[in-house]
Amino acid sequence: MALALEALDVSKRFGARWALARLSFSLPEGRSLLLTGHNGSGKTTLLRLIATASFPTAGVLKVLGYDSRAQRDALRPLVALVSHASFHYEDLTAAQNLSLTARLLGVAKPSTVVDELLGRLGLRERADSPVRQFSAGMRKRLAIARLLLRAPKVALLDEPFGELDPAGIAQMEALIAELQAQGASVVLATHLVEQGQRLTHERLHLEGGRKAAAA
């Protein structure tokens, strides 16, 4: 079976500190992974490595069969990351931010698609407000809209439920189910273990950057 993720002795060092140490695991395509662990255990680092925002110091990380460093150009269109950093421009409006991403992705009829997405995420009334004026929850919704502009084969969600209201959480759960129904592998990093386990198939628990048995 084809693998969505394959990590072989993956390590990542920041200065003298090893954020990930000789991590090996695999995830078949179409399966979803729950990533758990305490703060600083390496979850965000692992998600950033999979997203090709940074690269392993040692070891090999393959995503959808592509080497994350050597084949990053082919890989990037297939992977989407929703992280703590929203990647948005504070001084542009929600619509301008999404429109920029849509045009860079080559989405047909970007204005229509952006308007639909803003409506779907409950942001249409604030479409012309600069992101600087958005609450944390609204920023998260906008980040989700950004993810929906593409059809990722691997969706990486870093604490996706944080800052969301109950309606937003329900919407996020529906989104995860939708991505899975489209055949995408979802990697979900969260402290809400029960909720995460309900939404995913497999679990990887990290402690000090190493794979560990879940408590």
Binding residues for another protein (CB under 8 A): 51-55, 73, 76-77, 79, 81, 85-92, 96, 100-101, 103-108, 130
Checking phi first, is residue 158 left (phi over 0); if not, alpha (psi -120 to 50) or beta? beta
Q: How far is the CB of 195 from another protein (least distance, A)?
A: 26
**Nearer CB in complex with another protein: 106/166:** 106
Q: Which amino acid is at 88?
A: H
Is 11 exposed, middle or buried, given 0-12, 13-18 or 19+ CB atoms closer than 10 A?
Answer: middle
Q: How far is the CB of 167 from another protein (least distance, A)?
A: 24
> What CA–CA distance (Å, rounded) separates 46 from 68?
12
Q: How far is the CB of 11 from another protein (least distance, A)?
A: 13
Q: Burial letters for 21-42: b for 16+ Cβ neighbours within 10 Å, e otherwise?
A: bebeeebebbbbbbbbbeeebb
**Nearer CB in complex with another protein: 174/183:** 183
Q: How far is the CB of 76 from another protein (least distance, A)?
A: 4
**Nearer CB in complex with another protein: 98/199:** 98
Is 181 exposed, middle or buried, given 0-12, 13-18 or 19+ CB atoms closer than 10 A?
Answer: exposed
Report the SS3 class of residue 160. coil
Q: Which amino acid is at 71?
A: Q
**Nearer CB in complex with another protein: 160/196:** 160
**Nearer CB in complex with another protein: 31/76:** 76
Q: How far is the CB of 170 from another protein (least distance, A)?
A: 26
